[in-house]
Homo-oligomer: A and B are copies of this chain.
Amino acid sequence: MEPFRLEVDSYRKLLDKYITTEDENSLYQAEQFSKISMQKNILPEEIIHIHIQALKDLYPDLPCEIDKSLNFLLETMISYGLAHQEFQTLREKQG
């Protein structure tokens, strides 16, 4: 399975559990997911992309306004992603 699909599957399971149970542990899992994602050099806009796909898997009839709003959000994250890449480069230089 391609890496993106693996990330989506993992995120979707956590998201589904949180939506169903709303427990604190699921939120902790979200934090862990993002820490591991950062270690894998996954950028913030890619997290939004994973979120969109997981949401579409869970709700195939997602209203198109929600879908469009998430595309817009993804676009806003691209600048943050560029800053994040710059940060990773700086940190690597510093060892």
Most chain B CB neighbours (cut-off 10 Å) among A14, A76, A77:
A76
Cα A83 to Cα B19 in complex, Å, equals 27
B73 touching A51 by the CB < 8 A rule? yes
A55 partner residues in chain B, CB cutoff 8 A: 66, 69
The quantity of this chain's copies bound in the complex is 2
Q: How large is the interface on A (under 10, 10 to 19, 20 to 34, 35 or more residues)?
A: 35 or more
B19 touching A68 by the CB < 8 A rule? yes
Type the 1/0 row for A9-25, where 1 means its CB is closer than 8 Å to any CB of B.
Answer: 00000110011001000
Q: A: which residues have CB within 8 A of B?
A: 14-15, 18-19, 22, 26-27, 30-31, 33-35, 37-38, 44, 47-48, 51, 55, 58-59, 63, 65-66, 68-69, 71-73, 75-80, 83-84, 86-87, 90-91
